[in-house]
């Protein structure tokens, strides 16, 4: 079991407390969720607060467990302050990318820490690309770098097809922030694992090429 640091503990506690408040208070939930029309009216705070609300306990549990397992990797490499910076930047870029892709859909709403958590996951992958990930539906360990590439490609598919009730664009925005900030905070990754850095950049470049071509 990973040792949990105070920064991760505070973030998890904030997510749990705010989410529980949202579960029991529909006005609070509606006031702070991500919503295009409300943000366009000047309620930009929703781009941050929505990242601490969740749809239900399972949604909350999945995000917090993922954070619990991967946060220690990031903290070990860059420390708690930079870990928090990556988390918040990933949350905000996830919201910004969602706003960009859905700006003409006034009723579009979203909640969840998935963008922020995905940013932490991708930073962890860059720091430890050879670590193995175990997924519930796959009986063998998967190299972290392979999971990272596959997940971003799946996110592109999800954005294109609107597959499921999932904020794929927020996940992608979070991944981009985690990717960039990991390189900024630890540039030695570029020399130690350049091929991993380049490989993880492929889906990011592909997304913007497809968007430029009007495919997404």
Q: Write down the pLDDT at residue 118.
A: 92
Residue 80 lies in a domain: yes
Residue 36 lies in a domain: yes
Is the Cβ–Cβ distance between 54 and 22 less than 8 Å? yes
Residue 198 lies in a domain: yes
Q: Write down the pLDDT at residue 164.
A: 53
Length of the chain: 216
CA distance 139 to 77: 29
Residue 166 lies in a domain: yes
Neighbour count for residue 213 (Cβ, 10 Å) = 8
Residue 151 lies in a domain: yes
Is the Cβ–Cβ distance between 92 and 170 less than 8 Å? no
pLDDT (tens digit, 9 = 90+) per residue, 97-146?
A: 999 989 999 999 999 999 999 999 999 999 998 888 776 566 678 888 88
With 0-12 / 13-18 / 19 or more C-beta atoms within 10 angstroms meaning exposed / middle / buried, residue 124 is: buried
The H or E element spanning position 58 is: helix 57-102
pLDDT (tens digit, 9 = 90+) per residue, 76-85?
A: 999 999 999 9
Q: Write down the pLDDT at residue 136.
A: 59
Residue 1 lies in a domain: no
Is the Cβ–Cβ distance between 51 and 91 less than 8 Å? yes
Instruction: Return the CATH number at 139.
Output: 1.20.1540.10
Averaged pLDDT in 10-residue chunks for the chain of 216 residues:
85 98 96 97 96 93 92 96 98 95 92 93 92 71 85 81 70 94 95 91 88 80
Q: Write down the pLDDT at residue 31.
A: 97
Nearest to 171 by CA among 203, 210, 130, 215: 203
Q: Write down the pLDDT at residue 25.
A: 97
Residue 122 lies in a domain: yes
| Count of domains for the chain | 1
CA distance 23 to 53: 9
Q: Is 17 left (phi over 0), alpha (psi -120 to 50) or beta?
A: alpha
Is the Cβ–Cβ distance between 33 and 108 less than 8 Å? no
Which structural domain range is residue 58 located in?
6-212
CA distance 216 to 210: 6
Residue 149 lies in a domain: yes
């Amino acid at each position: 079991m990973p040792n949990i640091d105070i920064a991760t503990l505070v973030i998890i506690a904030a997510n749990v407390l705010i989410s529980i408040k949202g579960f029991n208070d529909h006005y609070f939930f509606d006031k702070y969720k991500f919503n295009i029309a409300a943000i366009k009216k000047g309620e930009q705070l929703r781009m941050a607060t929505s990242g601490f609300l969740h749809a239900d306990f399972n949604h909350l549990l999945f995000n917090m467990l993922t954070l619990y397992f991967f946060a220690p990797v990031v903290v070990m490499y860059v420390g708690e302050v930079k870990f928090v910076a990556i988390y918040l930047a990933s949350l905000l870029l996830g919201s910004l990318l969602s706003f960009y892709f859905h700006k003409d859909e006034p009723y579009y709403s979203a909640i969840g820490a998935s963008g922020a958590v995905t940013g932490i996951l991708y930073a962890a992958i860059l720091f430890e690309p050879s670590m193995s990930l175990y997924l519930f539906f796959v009986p063998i360990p998967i190299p972290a770098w392979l999971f990272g590439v596959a997940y971003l490609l799946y996110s592109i598919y999800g954005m294109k097809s609107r597959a499921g009730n999932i904020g794929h664009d927020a996940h992608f925005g979070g991944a981009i922030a985690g990717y960039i900030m990991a390189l900024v905070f630890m540039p030695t990754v570029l020399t130690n694992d350049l091929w991993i850095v380049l490989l993880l950049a492929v889906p990011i470049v592909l997304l913007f090429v497809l968007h430029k071509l009007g495919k997404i």
